[in-house]
């Protein structure tokens, strides 16, 4: 009989074991996401099911951009994010959200999977660098953000780590659906 062991690990190099476990979960989620997009061509990454809808490439770029932004404003508490300094693309370059009937951003046109993998790696390296110094007490620290619509948003640092994980997981589902639709429409299903 074969035995499979599945464990949540606690990586070294973090001030907090809780934070380390969040990063392990994020890395595992990313590993699974990248397994699911393995072999996607530039054509598939840029395929749009209909005007106004996201592409796989847009979703990958958005995951990277959002993670870098959340590390800056949520984990570090910076007033203004500058995710483009980390990942090398702007919010306009990632293209989300598209307006109704909109086309994918030109900045992502023809990009191969290695381009998107590098964006994700830059964002995760930044998150790891920021998160490694966080203590258990830091997880309770409140961050207050003034929203463009005049409302205030208050969250704690622990929630930001959770949100980074669930944000990527939610878009992972979208990526899988887009891959399925692409294969069906291109006769590869």
Please write the tens of the pLDDT for every residue from 48-96. Answer: 999 999 999 999 999 999 999 999 999 999 988 999 999 999 999 999 9
CB 68 within 8 A of CB 122: yes
For 114-124, the pLDDT digits (tens) are: 999 999 999 99
Give residues with Cβ within 8 angstroms of 4, minimum separation 6: none
Burial class (CB in 10 A: 0-12, 13-18, 19+), 119: buried
* Beta carbons within 8 Å of 93's beta carbon, 6+ residues apart: 61, 84, 105, 107, 108
Give the other-Cβ count within 10 Å of 11's Cβ: 14
pLDDT at 16: 98
What lies within 8 Å, CB to CB, of 27 at 6+ separation is 124
Rounded CA separation 44/55 (Å): 8
CA angle 65, 66, 70 (to 5 degrees): 120
Residue 121: what pLDDT? 98
29-49 pLDDT tens trace? 999 999 999 999 999 999 999
Give me Rg for the CA atoms of the chain: 18
What average pLDDT is seen over the chain? Answer: 96
- Flag whether pLDDT at 188 surpasses 90: no
Residue 55 contacts residue 104 (beta carbons within 8 Å): yes
Domains in the chain, please, with CATH?
42-185 (1.20.120.450)
Mean pLDDT of 95-105: 95
User: Rounded to two decimals, what is the model's pTM?
Assistant: 0.95
Contact assessment for residue 71 and residue 127, using Cβ atoms and an 8 Å cutoff: yes
């Amino acid at each position: 009989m074969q035995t499979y062991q599945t464990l949540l690990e606690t990586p070294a190099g973090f001030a907090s074991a809780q934070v380390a476990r969040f990063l392990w979960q994020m890395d595992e989620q990313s590993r699974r996401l990248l397994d699911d997009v393995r072999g996607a061509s530039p054509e598939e990454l840029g395929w749009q099911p209909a005007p106004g809808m996201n592409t796989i490439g847009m979703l990958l770029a958005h995951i990277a951009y959002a993670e870098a932004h959340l590390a800056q404003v949520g984990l570090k508490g910076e007033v203004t994010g500058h995710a483009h300094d980390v990942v090398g693309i702007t919010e306009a370059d990632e293209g989300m959200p598209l307006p109704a009937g909109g086309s994918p951003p030109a900045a992502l046109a023809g990009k191969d999977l290695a381009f998107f993998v590098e964006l994700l790696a830059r964002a995760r390296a930044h998150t790891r660098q920021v998160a490694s110094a966080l203590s258990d007490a830091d997880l309770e620290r409140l961050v207050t953000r003034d929203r463009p619509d005049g409302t205030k948003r208050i969250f704690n640092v622990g929630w930001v780590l959770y949100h980074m994980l669930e944000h990527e997981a939610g878009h992972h589902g979208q990526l899988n659906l887009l891959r399925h639709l692409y294969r069906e429409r291109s006769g590869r299903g």
